[in-house]
Structure 1
Amino acid sequence: MGIVGKTRRLKEAGSDDAAKPPFLAAFVDCETTGLDPAKHELIELALVLFAYEPTTGEVIGIVEEYAGLREPKGRIHATAREKHGLTCEMVRGKHLDAERVNSMLDQAAVLIAHNAKFDRAFIGRLFPLARKKRWYCSMANIHWTWKGFPSRGLHSLLAQHGIKVGQAHRALNDARATVVLLAQKRDGRTYLAELLGGRRSVLMQR
């Protein structure tokens, strides 16, 4: 049964057993006006809250998803716009649902991102709760190159695993696809198990 089927089963069961800390993780992804968190801004945020079995690293199912746009104070740099396709017109008047975002962050025992240092810097500016969480980086904390993959880049890894994604570099599409990637097994072990079991974990509270 795939993650979609498991998600349906989990929701029908009311998520009572699987959706209690420390069995929840949130994959987060953001799109921004540029690369420097000191002067650029977050304009799109996605979170995929999912349940997992901590002893095996098996992904049980997705509990909740959120994606939202945010109008920045500054302009969207051309290089960033070319990457994610977001324009000033698309984000004008948009605001993130802070209450919902904080609720999902609060439920998650850990946060995961592909290039966690980048996402944590931008998300933490808007949501201080995110800075208090343990973060894991699915790019740096899994030995992709040791496993023979030519790149640690997300879309290269997704392609190598035959995982289809909608519009690339849009936050929710990337987040959903990465949860599917983390659920894959290599040598009898999920990538999520390797990620959470590694000692190189993270950007801790500070």
Structure 2
Amino acid sequence: MADALAQSTDYRVLRRLIPRSPYTPDAGQEVRTGILLDTETTGLDHVKDEIIELGMVKFDYTPEGRIVGVRDTFSAFNEPSAPITAEVTALTGITNEVVAGQKFDDGAVTTFAESGVITIAHNSSFDRRFVERYWPVFEHKAWGCSMSEIDWRKHGFAGAQLGYLLNGAGFFHQAHRAVDDCHALLEVLALELPPTGSSALALLLETARKPTMRVWAEQTAFELKDSLKRRGYRWNDGSDGRAKSWFRDVDESALDDEIAFLRTEIYMQDVEPNVQRLTAFTRFSSRI
């Protein structure tokens, strides 16, 4: 019945996501290993709040970005130093009873993650800052973000929410656990994106490998904030130890145009803004 519906232009069929079983690599097959990662936390502050759940899926992919199979999975809870609030429980489904007496095995986390050549999360600017605080192994890894480093709208999606993207891949899932979201992300990255003929993973890897330049627009007049926002600048409130300032990440090829914009539209003078060069090894990290 589902196959018949799928052949009609009047219906779309969504199938329940069944996680892939671990596979054994073929001898001599050239593959690389990646880590999909998701966290649940007691709040949004990566300095003060705590991780209460960590999920990871280790997978292999070809140099061209085609997913070959799942190697292993990791899922663990951690009891925080203060009770989980009702708000966090409503958001994550994690109660104080679920995490009671649970503690992360730091050695197991490190062993699982160290073989990955890239770590991917669906909001790496959030997850990387948290896991780096707990486990130094993540400080030295290349990172990619499946939410921000793929132009989903360009490929026909109205948004980048994980459940919505999973529906586009033909699946639905009940996101009870962090590792469940990792399995969902695997299928999203396996999706072939028209008209490129490439997988979402291949496009993500291509973007992640490119250096970007972070341009800081410091000490700008308050009345210019709307112009900066329209340009794509974001506000850093200083809570992470960096200056209170507007900033924007651009490709290396667009750096000259960005500096010209600041000189002519914002500062009205020949200034040299603070610029940082970011790569997959430093991007999304609170250390930058």
Give the structure-2-normalised TM-score: 0.63
Q: In structure 1, what is the equivalent of residue 136 of structure 2?
A: 128
Deviation per residue, 1:100-139 (Å, 9 max, x gap): 2101211000100000011111111110111111110000
Q: In structure 2, what is the equivalent of residue 165 of structure 1?
A: 173
Q: In structure 1, what is the equivalent of residue 245 of structure 2?
A: none
Q: In structure 2, what is the equivalent of residue 46 of structure 1?
A: 55
The CA deviation at 1:61 is 0.4
What SS does structure 2 have at the residue aligned with 1:64?
A: strand
The CA deviation at 1:77 is 3.0
2:206 to 165, 176, 197: 197
For 1:45 and 1:16, how far apart are their aligned partners in 2? 31
Q: Which has the higher contact order (CA 8 A, sep 6+)?
A: 1
Q: 1:18 to 1:139 in 2, by over 3 A?
A: farther
Check if 1:59 corresponds to 2:57.
no
What is the alpha-carbon root mean square deviation over aligned residues? Answer: 2.2
Q: How do 1:62-77 and structure 2 match up within 5 A?
A: 62-77=70-85
For 2:83 and 2:47, how far apart are their aligned partners in 1? 14
For 1:182 and 1:193, how far apart are their aligned partners in 2? 8
Q: Where do 4+ consecutive residues of structure 1 move more than 4 Å?
A: 15-20
Q: How do 1:6-155 and structure 2 match up within 5 A?
A: 8=22, 10-11=23-24, 13=25, 17=28, 23-54=32-63, 56-155=64-163
For 2:167 and 2:51, how far apart are their aligned partners in 1? 26
Which residues of structure 1 form unaligned runs of 5+? none
Q: In structure 1, what is the equivalent of residue 189 of structure 2?
A: 182
The CA deviation at 1:149 is 1.1
Give the AA of the match of 1:43.
I
Q: Compare CA radii of gyration and give the structure with the larger one.
A: 2
What SS does structure 2 have at the residue aligned with 1:107?
A: coil
